[in-house]
Structure 1
Amino acid sequence: MKKISGLLLIAAFLSGPAGAADIDVEKAKEIYGPCAACHGQFGAGGKRGEYPRIAGQHARYTYEQLKNFQSQHRLNLPMFPYTKERELPDEDMKLVAEWLATVELPTQMPTFKGDEDALTRLNMVEKVMIVPRAEGDIEAGGKVYQEHCGGCHGRQGKGRGLFPMLAGQYTSYLQKQIDAYLRAERPHEEEVVQDGILYQLKPDDIRNILAYLTTLQNTD
């Protein structure tokens, strides 16, 4: 019965993300609590690239990565204790992934109306996430990205399904993950689809792509 329930849960999840109104936000925030120590109160990640932005990331992708951490298909020693089944069952993974997908991080400083208290203003400012412009040839990076990456990660870098959102992610984190893929330290199942495109790109291509991605964070 437990196995059948788990299969039904996964099937319902893969059929599409829940609407914001269907999410138990308070429970999701409670589950997310321990995650905030590394990923930040609003899921913005670490500015030095040590932790990824997970706010706004596709629910299906986040869920699959949590499962990969749990099974150690994707090795990450700090994440393993948090994703053990007794700590984070499937239902909780699904819920927190769906909630995180609804969290929006503005890319411009807020305009205050004048009736906010100090804490509200502080939170409004803290929630702003602006990725610094990275060095590189933006035009060249855009051409390479659209030719080789846009088909899976979206023309605006927003991703889809199991392909993660790249726009709005800190450049240093993206570079760190690319390096991990190239060293075969992180599995990249999608390489089969793209015929191993990461291994064909030159360092300048990657540098230019990362510069290009920083120009996409303000797109709607």
Structure 2
Amino acid sequence: MMHFGLWARLLAALLAGGAVLPAAALDLERARDIYGPCAACHGEFGAGGKKGEYPRVAGQLPKYLEQQLKAFQSQRRVNLPMYPYTKERELPDEDMKLVSAYLAQIELPTRPPLFRESDDALTRLLAMEKVMIVPRAEGNIDNGKLAYEENCAACHGKSGKGRGMFPMLVGQYTSYLRKQIDAYLKADRPHDEDSASEGVLYSLQARDIQDVLAYLTAIQEVQP
């Protein structure tokens, strides 16, 4: 059994670097207990729901998740459903780190699994509940690829899987991304440390934004 002090140092080191902890290094029982109230909206496996009303949190970068939980708690990011969860429960920093690391290590397949003839209906149902495929969005994928690489990839990564404090975009609901983009453009949510009118989104035309959303749905790792 790993000594508690060693486990704590490992957790702190990996979270500080934004790395994803393996499930074996997490207190999964505690993490699931913290996440329990979230599952009502975000789903048992963190896939979100209601066609993007509740965003996917599974596989998201831990530093970003922790940052957003703190923003909800301080109300720097206003979200009424999240406020009682982060504030009234007095969610401590340690719990934020743990639940963020827990969600980051959840993998949602992007293609239906191959079943054996012996697999029963329940096994098939549970496996399919973990599959996460965002429907293709309309738009010019070639233009979206160009616009994304020129304006977004430096922060969100070439494959859209995020980097450091910048979130994963690929695999997220298109409707949720659109809602957040609108919030940024209305200055209801700050996009970066620049002034509200200088963020990268303000340099893109509406058509380019739609094409970027289309491109993100096109680069999911989905079987043709």
2:74 to 51, 71, 91: 71
1:168 pairs with one of 162, 167, 171: 171
Provide the rounded CA distance (Å) in 1 between the counterparts of 2:10 and 2:82.
23
Matching residue of 2:100: 97
The 10-residue stretch of structure 1 (77-86 or 163-172) with the greater mean CA deviation from structure 2: 77-86
> Is 1:45 matched with 2:48?
yes
Question: Residue 83 of structure 1 aligns with which residue?
Answer: 86
User: Quick one: distance in 2 between partners of 1:50 and 1:82?
Assistant: 17
Structure 1 residue corresponding to 2:216, chosen from 186, 195, 213:
213
Q: Which moved more, 1:119-128 or 1:57-66?
A: 119-128
Does the alignment pair 1:140 with 2:140? no
Cα displacement (A) at 1:190: 5.0
* 1-structure distance, mates of 2:132, 2:12: 33
TM-score by length of 2: 0.87
Percent of aligned pairs sharing the same letter: 64
Question: Which of 158, 161, 178 does residue 181 from structure 2 map onto?
Answer: 178
Asked if the contact 1:191/1:197 (under 8 Å) is kept, the reply is: no
Return the offset for 1:89: 1.5
Q: In the alignment, which residue of structure 2 is the partner of 1:5?
A: none
Moved more, 181-190 or 114-123: 114-123
Scaled by the length of structure 1, what TM-score is found? 0.89
5+ residue gaps, structure 1? 1-7
1:59 lines up with 2:57 in the alignment: no
The total of aligned residue pairs comes to 211
Offset at 1:11?
Answer: 6.1
Q: CA deviation at 1:118?
A: 3.4
Alpha carbons of 1:16 and 1:130: their partners in 2 closer, same or farther (altered >3 Å)?
closer
Equivalent residues of 1:9, 1:91 under 8 A apart: no
Work out whether 1:127 is the aligned partner of 2:130. yes
Give the equivalent residue in structure 2 for 1:196: 199
User: What is the letter of the counterpart of residue 192 of structure 2?
Assistant: E
Per-residue deviation, 1:19 = 3.2
Distance in 1 separating the partners of 2:11 and 2:79 = 23
Match of 2:116 among 98, 113, 118: 113
Give the distance between the partners of 2:113 and 2:176, measured in 1 at CA.
26
Letter in 1 for 2:38: C
Tell me the equivalent position of 1:4: none
User: 2: distance between equivalents of 1:190 and 1:207?
Assistant: 24
RMSD across aligned C-alpha pairs, in angstroms? 2.2
148-157 vs 119-128, which deviates more?
119-128
Q: Contact between 1:69 and 1:76, CA under 8 Å: does it hold in 2?
A: yes
**Letter of the structure 1 residue corresponding to residue 48 of structure 2:** G
When residues 62 and 82 of structure 1 are mapped into structure 2, their CA distance, relative to the original with a 3 A threshold, is same
Return the alpha-carbon distance in structure 2 between the equivalents of residues 76 and 177 of structure 1.
12
Give the 3 Å change call, closer, same or farther, for CA 10–201 of structure 1 in structure 2: farther
Q: Equivalences for 1:5-44 in 2 at 5 Å?
A: 12=13, 13-17=15-19, 18-44=21-47
Secondary structure at the residue paired with 1:164? coil
Deviation at 1:90, TM superposition (A): 1.2
Would you say the 8 A contact 1:58–1:161 is kept in 2?
yes
